């Protein structure tokens, strides 16, 4: 594209699918313009602050068998764990004392009563230890409306449920063909979360086998049409103990996947100016400065890992995941430095809610 064309395109209020495909396919010099525009939009609409979400990888037990994921139930080489209540509360206390503002509780997907009740119990304890001050995001997969409602009533106020890919046919290629892995159910679950009043987050993987640029353009349109509050997306990274390993159909090299992920973040920032976008850990797996780069092109959320180190090597959704040996303190100071290098500041002690959500619900109390 001619430079003038990109500049004109970037100033449009609305991108069509063809516009998005052109932007995603932009060459290096046009990509610089996209990144520059995204940085300006970020500064104007969400400011310089990056908010922490302390990540607690509560358990790697998962009932599902997604074809790309290292902790799928079919991978018998993984040692399964569940953090104890004390460990979870210790991690939450660390987050609270260090002014993180919020935590994320993430886990493999399970719907058994013991699991859903334990989460309620943990929510109660976390709210108590922080006098309700610590924000809590849940990322615990698909659940019934009743469970989502209970968790919401006990203080979970944001929920991350990635659609993984918004194209139904592609979804079917990346998941087993059974009732546990239904695209429609996943979409329904996302709708339910929004209906219940959660700040709703979703996301996709970038650079998957069979995935095309047009699919990624559709993903961006999906986020806009769904009017999503938060996004976490990153490159797909192979894991040897998964069925997708060794499938090379339309797979792009890792460095290109990374560039594409950065472009997705930047374009989305320009499209949805006031949402929260995470600089995901997977970005750092490919590029040592991956998370800083994501911040520079529009991301404003980062998730320092709080999972006890003894469990980390068992929570490998993909290979070469960073921060396997670093304790919470190390990740905290590492990320502080990275954020400053990216020219941003940290929103200590703030929930850092999605401004988009606050615009959708102007009367909702936040901090
Ligand atoms: N590469 C990158 N991301 C992955 N996830 C699962 N497996 C992989 C992989 N191989 C992502 C999914 C899931 C999130 C918790 O991790 O998008 O929603
Ligand atoms: Fe389980 Fe999530 Fe991995 Fe799928 S992506 S196997 S639901 S942990
Ligand atoms: Fe964990 Fe850098 S964020 S070591």
Mean pLDDT, to the nearest integer, of 9-21?
94
Q: Which ligand is nearest to the CA of 109?
A: 2
Q: In whole angstroms, how large is the CA radius of gyration of the chain?
A: 19
- Cα(244) to centroid(ligand 3), Å: 28
- Residue 359: pLDDT over 90: no
Residue 366: band (very low, low, confident or very high) from pLDDT cuts 50, 70, 90: very low
Report the pocket of ligand 3 as residue ranges, CB < 6 Å: 305, 323, 326, 330-331, 334-335
Does residue 301 fall inside a structural domain?
Answer: yes
pLDDT of residue 3: 59
Number of domains the chain contains: 1
Does residue 254 fall inside a structural domain?
Answer: yes
Mean pLDDT, to the nearest integer, of 232-255?
93
Q: Which tokens go with 5? A: 């064309």
- Average predicted confidence (pLDDT) for the chain: 95
CA dihedral 320, 324, 330, 333 (to 10 degrees): 30
Does residue 2 fall inside a structural domain?
Answer: no
Question: CA-to-CA distance for 156 and 159, rounded, in angstroms?
Answer: 8
Question: Where does residue 261 fall: left (phi above 0), alpha (psi -120 to 50 degrees), or beta otherwise?
Answer: alpha
Q: Which ligand is nearest to the CA of 318?
A: 1
pLDDT of residue 348: 92
pLDDT of residue 183: 98
CATH code, domain with 313:
3.20.20.70
Does residue 237 fall inside a structural domain?
Answer: yes
Q: Which tokens go with 114? A: 């013991």
Mean pLDDT, to the nearest integer, of 35-49?
96
- Cα(326) to centroid(ligand 3), Å: 6
Does residue 365 fall inside a structural domain?
Answer: no
Nearest-atom number in ligand 3 for the CA of 326 is 4
Does residue 105 fall inside a structural domain?
Answer: yes
Domain that holds residue 295: 15-360
Residue 13: band (very low, low, confident or very high) from pLDDT cuts 50, 70, 90: confident
The model's pLDDT over 197-210, given as tens digits with 9 standing for 90+, comes to 999 999 999 999 99
Does residue 94 fall inside a structural domain?
Answer: yes
- Residue 365: pLDDT over 60: no
- Cα(268) to centroid(ligand 1), Å: 19
Does residue 81 contact residue 308 with C-beta atoms inside 8 Å? no
pLDDT of residue 248: 84
pTM over 0.75, yes/no: yes
Mean pLDDT, to the nearest integer, of 330-342?
92
Whether ligand 1 lies within 6 angstroms of the CB of 205 is answered as: yes
Does residue 6 fall inside a structural domain?
Answer: no
- Cα(317) to centroid(ligand 1), Å: 6
Locus of tokens 């472009």: 263
Nearest-atom number in ligand 1 for the CA of 317 is 7
- Residue 364: pLDDT over 70: no
- Cα(164) to centroid(ligand 1), Å: 8
pLDDT of residue 245: 95
- Residue 128: pLDDT over 60: yes
């Amino acid at each position: 594209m001619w430079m003038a064309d990109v500049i004109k395109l970037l100033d449009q209020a609305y991108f069509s699918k063809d516009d998005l495909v052109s932007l995603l396919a932009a060459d290096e010099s046009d990509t610089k313009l996209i990144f520059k525009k995204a940085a300006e939009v970020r500064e104007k609409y969400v400011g310089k602050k990056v908010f922490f979400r302390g990540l607690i990888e509560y358990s790697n037990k998962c009932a599902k068998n997604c074809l790309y994921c290292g902790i799928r139930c079919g991978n018998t080489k993984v040692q399964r764990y569940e953090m104890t209540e004390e460990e979870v509360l210790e991690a939450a206390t660390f987050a609270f004392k260090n002014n993180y503002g919020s935590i994320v509780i993430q886990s493999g997907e399970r719907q058994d009563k013991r699991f859903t009740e334990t989460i309620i119990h943990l929510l109660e304890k976390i709210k108590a230890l922080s006098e309700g001050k610590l924000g809590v995001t849940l990322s615990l997969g698909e659940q019934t409306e009743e469970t989502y409602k209970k968790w919401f009533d006990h203080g979970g106020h944001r929920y991350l449920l990635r659609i993984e890919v918004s194209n139904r046919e592609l979804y079917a290629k990346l998941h087993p063909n059974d009732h546990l892995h239904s695209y429609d159910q996943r979409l329904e679950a996302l709708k339910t979360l929004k209906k219940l009043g959660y700040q709703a987050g979703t996301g996709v993987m970038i650079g998957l086998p069979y995935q095309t640029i047009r699919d990624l353009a559709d993903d961006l349109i999906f986020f806009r049409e769904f009017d999503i509050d938060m996004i976490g997306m990153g490159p797909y990274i192979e894991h040897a103990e998964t069925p997708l390993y060794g499938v090379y159909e339309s797979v792009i090299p890792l460095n290109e996947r990374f560039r594409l992920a950065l472009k997705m973040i930047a374009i989305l920032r320009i499209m949805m100016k006031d949402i929260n976008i995470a600089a995901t850990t997977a970005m750092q797996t490919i590029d040592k400065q991956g998370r800083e780069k994501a911040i520079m092109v529009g991301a404003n959320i980062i998730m320092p890992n709080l999972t006890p180190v003894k469990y980390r090597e068992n929570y490998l959704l993909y290979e070469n995941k960073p921060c396997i040996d670093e304790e919470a303190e190390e990740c905290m100071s590492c990320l502080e430095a990275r954020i400053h290098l990216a020219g941003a500041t940290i929103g200590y002690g703030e929930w850092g809610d999605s401004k988009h959500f606050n615009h959708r619900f102007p009367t909702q109390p936040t901090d």
